[in-house]
Amino acid sequence: MESQMSATAHPAAPAAIRKAITGASIGNAVEWFDFAIYGFLATYIAAKFFPAGNDTAALLNTFAIFAAAFFMRPLGGFVFGPLGDRIGRQRVLAVVILLMSAATLGIGLLPTYASIGVAAPLLLLFLRCLQGFSAGGEYGGGAVYLAEYARDRNRGLTVTFIAWSGVVGFLLGSVTVTVLQALLPASAMDSYGWRIPFLIAAPLGLVGLYIRLRLDDTPQFAALAETDRVASSPLREAATTAWRPILQVIGLFIVFNVGYYVVFTFLPTYFIKTLEFGKTASFVSMSLASLVALVLILPLAALSDRIGRRPLLIGGAAAFVVLAYPLFLLLTSGSLAAAITAHCVLAAIESVYVSTAVTAGVELFATRVRYSGFSIGYNVSVAAFGGTTPYVVTWLTATTDNNLAPALYLVVAAVVSLATLLTLRESAGRPLAGTAGADVRR
């Protein structure tokens, strides 16, 4: 087994670690900017790409296409994960950002339903699926890349820059859309302004590609390549030797994904459509919730390096179980101040979980199959419980006529993840599996 290798990678220099963090984080922020603007522009997309007459049906169709992209993510994980374990992490990360940005640019150029009829939503579906396919190699690849550069004592902080940069991307997407809405007349925003954030993807993608092409591969993968121990069939090896960690990652990320997409994708629309607050109020709440996450995630990640991953993960999941329903009661109380407060507290709870889950997930796998194993587990979970969340909670709210339905869905997700967490061993401060000094029983 690769975990019994005598060869090991030399620890990366601090300058190399900073370069790795910059490259992975900037690229990931670009990816999540591309994904986020679709959610922020959902009401415009619904009006442009579906027949007029039923706003709720059009919005549900828009979120269904949002979810469809996530069903492509496992396929992307199955393709890019093994590829990253065979040819290296850096090359795959360069490819996926190029694909994502090209697909996002395509959405910005699409003709509408009024112009080409049913072909418009079909082309939108294709481009969203291409986004999902590329994203299947992005998040897991970036997390693995940083984990393999990080030092054992601060791996949590280093890896969590990937999650932090995702929130940055979401916030930039929100700010971009809102600034356009403020600067453009409503007629201009409806006519062409909604396309501008998608068109921005082209230069952002080129910047991200340039940065990633200048990165080196990780010391651990380089050590594998030098000793000719790169897995020849990483997908099969992951399925046969790492099936238990893959299942653990799926369970671990259920509440991660449900919470993330409730807080950062569903609630902005919920503020407008269900709570009947204005778009400005929705933007203010979204921005404050994002700032809460940006402030908390990295310090909490550093804390996980000191006290361990399990206390924070269990605390975050338990907080959702206990507080999700009361916080949604606060959201629906009719007070804008109360709703924004509830949104920010939900973001804080999600930050506790986000700050630790990615690191805990990548630490479960050996180097030979780390990209494959983590990408498959993460993307299966995000397909089933992430991209579907806006659709499911919108449907539950409309079907039950209960504005608190999203809270119940969040509680159930937290209970399942909490049960998974009880099966995990503490991994903070230990060498990654597959390096000298690692616990071969992991």
What are the pLDDT digits (tens) for 410-439? 999 999 999 999 999 999 889 887 654 444
**If we measure between CA atoms, which residue out of 234, 204, 212, 203 comes closest to residue 221?**
234
How far apart are the C-alpha atoms of 434 and 231, rounded to whole Å?
12
* Stretch 116-129: mean pLDDT: 89
Is it the case that residue 147 has pLDDT exceeding 70? yes
**If we measure between CA atoms, which residue out of 221, 148, 246, 153 comes closest to residue 2?**
221
How far apart are the C-alpha atoms of 24 and 26, rounded to whole Å?
6
Structural contact between residues 206 and 102, judged by C-beta atoms closer than 8 angstroms: no
In this prediction, residue 40 carries a pLDDT of 76
> In angstroms, what CA-CA distances link 252 with 28, 152, 194?
21, 22, 36
In this prediction, residue 434 carries a pLDDT of 65
Instruction: Return the structure tokens found at 137.
Output: 């190699």
In this prediction, residue 355 carries a pLDDT of 95
Is it the case that residue 328 has pLDDT exceeding 80? yes
Residue type for position 53: G
In this prediction, residue 3 carries a pLDDT of 42
Is it the case that residue 348 has pLDDT exceeding 60? yes
Across 50-126, the runs of DSSP E, i.e. the strands, are: none
How many residues in the chain?
442
316 CB contacts (<8 Å, ≥6 apart)? 255, 349, 350, 352, 353, 356
CA dihedral of residues 45, 46, 47, 49 (deg, nearest 10): 70
Is it the case that residue 2 has pLDDT exceeding 50? no
54 CB contacts (<8 Å, ≥6 apart)? none
In this prediction, residue 245 carries a pLDDT of 95
How far apart are the C-alpha atoms of 252 and 258, rounded to whole Å?
11
Structural contact between residues 405 and 337, judged by C-beta atoms closer than 8 angstroms: no
In this prediction, residue 436 carries a pLDDT of 42
How far apart are the C-alpha atoms of 432 and 19, rounded to whole Å?
21
Which of the residue ranges 114-128, 233-247, 334-348 has the most confident prediction, judged by mean pLDDT?
Answer: 334-348
In this prediction, residue 208 carries a pLDDT of 82
* Stretch 55-61: mean pLDDT: 75
In this prediction, residue 300 carries a pLDDT of 97
Q: Is 175 exposed, middle or buried (0-12, 13-18, 19+ CB in 10 A)?
A: middle
* Stretch 45-59: mean pLDDT: 77
Instruction: Return the structure tokens found at 77.
Output: 């994980």
Is it the case that residue 167 has pLDDT exceeding 90? no
192 CB contacts (<8 Å, ≥6 apart)? none
- Band the pLDDT of 34: cuts 50, 70, 90: confident
How far apart are the C-alpha atoms of 85 and 126, rounded to whole Å?
27
pLDDT in tens, 257-280: 999 989 988 898 889 888 889 878
**If we measure between CA atoms, which residue out of 80, 76, 219, 160 comes closest to residue 363?**
160
Is it the case that residue 5 has pLDDT exceeding 50? no
Q: Which residue has the higher pLDDT, 320 or 78?
A: 320
In this prediction, residue 439 carries a pLDDT of 42
Rounded to 10 deg, the angle between the 73-87 and 55-71 helix axes is 20
Q: Is the dihedral of CA 198, 203, 206, 210 positive or negative?
A: negative
Structural contact between residues 391 and 67, judged by C-beta atoms closer than 8 angstroms: yes
Per-chain mean pLDDT for the chain = 87
* Stretch 302-325: mean pLDDT: 96
In this prediction, residue 343 carries a pLDDT of 97
**Secondary structure letter of residue 265 according to DSSP:** I
How far apart are the C-alpha atoms of 292 and 276, rounded to whole Å?
24
Structural contact between residues 196 and 180, judged by C-beta atoms closer than 8 angstroms: yes
CB atoms within 10 A of CB 243: 13
Structural contact between residues 109 and 96, judged by C-beta atoms closer than 8 angstroms: no
Determine which helix (DSSP H) or strand (DSSP E) holds 209, and give its type and residue range: helix 201-213
In this prediction, residue 155 carries a pLDDT of 95
- Band the pLDDT of 4: cuts 50, 70, 90: very low
In this prediction, residue 27 carries a pLDDT of 76
In this prediction, residue 398 carries a pLDDT of 85
In this prediction, residue 340 carries a pLDDT of 96
